Structure 1
Amino acid sequence: MIDPSTLDFAKGDGLVPVVVQDAATLQVLTLAYMDRAALDETIASGEATFFSRSRGGRWRKGETSGNRLSVVSLVADCDADALVLRVEPVGPACHLGTTSCFGSEDATGVGRLARLEATIAGRARADPSESWTARLIADGVSRVAQKVGEEGVEVALASVTGSDADLAGEAADLIYHLLVLLHVRGLRLADVLEVLAARARPAAPG
């Protein structure tokens, strides 16, 4: 976690801007401000606490709404006068009830995969008679693995004989079933991304 003494609060008259980002989807949720006391409270509590310029004081996000922001990481910029706060949100971040304060659009890009992963985790707790995902998970890892194999073949066939739309659709089915398989095995997309990141790092000189 960041050392508050390294930040330049003086440049912003005692405040530093904080870009709040969903740690899973990387979607920007809001822009807020912290003074030194709010930052200290955030670090101590593990929940985002800001300084409200309109209220003239500190407030912990979710005190009244319950829509809290659990801290995952906190990083300063190169000038030590701004922060990126990555969080696990509990409920909407915006007081208007939307996921983000920056419009109603959901996470885009790779963020959609993280959102799908969360949906799968939620459906896993549903009644198998009412949810295909729950039913598939209830059938066990072998059944899910079989579906991944089947979808992989369909992707390969679509790439050779199908249209672009066919290939995109089959690829979507494959990604969905692959995420279900990871869930059943107790893994997350982040585990896969970490493997890819490790492979991209330069090899140590030998």
Structure 2
Amino acid sequence: MEEIREIFCRFSVQRPEPKGELEHVNPFTLVVAVALSAQATDAGVNKATRALFAVADTPQKMLDLGEERVRDLIKTIGLYRNKAKNVIALSRRLVDEFGGEVPRSREELVTLPGVGRKTANVVLSMAFGEPTLAVDTHVFRIGNRLRIAPGNTPDEVEQAFLRIIPEDYLFHAHHWLILHGRYCCKARKPECERCVIADLCRSLEKTCDIPAPLVELPAQIA
């Protein structure tokens, strides 16, 4: 497990205070932004939500805006029609069942339309300060590519990471992994030559000559 601690130690030195890149002003706009980010880039979501959140930063304001106007404001985002329906539906649920407030439990969050476990984990971490691990496409790829948290589903990768990430690194872990996957360990061609953990990496896709460590990983993460 010393190698795993070293990996996250290096991430912490590289980005001491990592931040999510989705723009939001409160827990509600964070829920909406993360829900909209499915199959879309953060940059693309931010471009659309700046105008949306300027006029609707609460569930009631979103309902007052209406589905058609929401659809028009987010039409540059993939699957915007269905996402607009979900935004209105989740706003209605928040107003009718939660007093207009975003719930603070995963169990309640995932009952909102368009909100799955990943979105719930992001909200719990970024809005309420809970140490959760949101598994998006980047985290899923890194877990399997580096062979440190393998799994066939996001839930399997999440549980694998939770078993190995040192507790004192858990709060920032999902941001470190997401940002590492987005800007360095990219899907098509990882930029291993500038990777801070290249010498610890066991990926078969490495693009530089830095060898993997000779010491064996523990059986549960090998």
TM-score by length of 1: 0.28
Q: Quick check: which one's helix share is greater?
A: 2
Structure with higher Rg: it is 1
Bigger RCO (CA 8 Å, 6+ sep): 2
TM-score by length of 2: 0.27
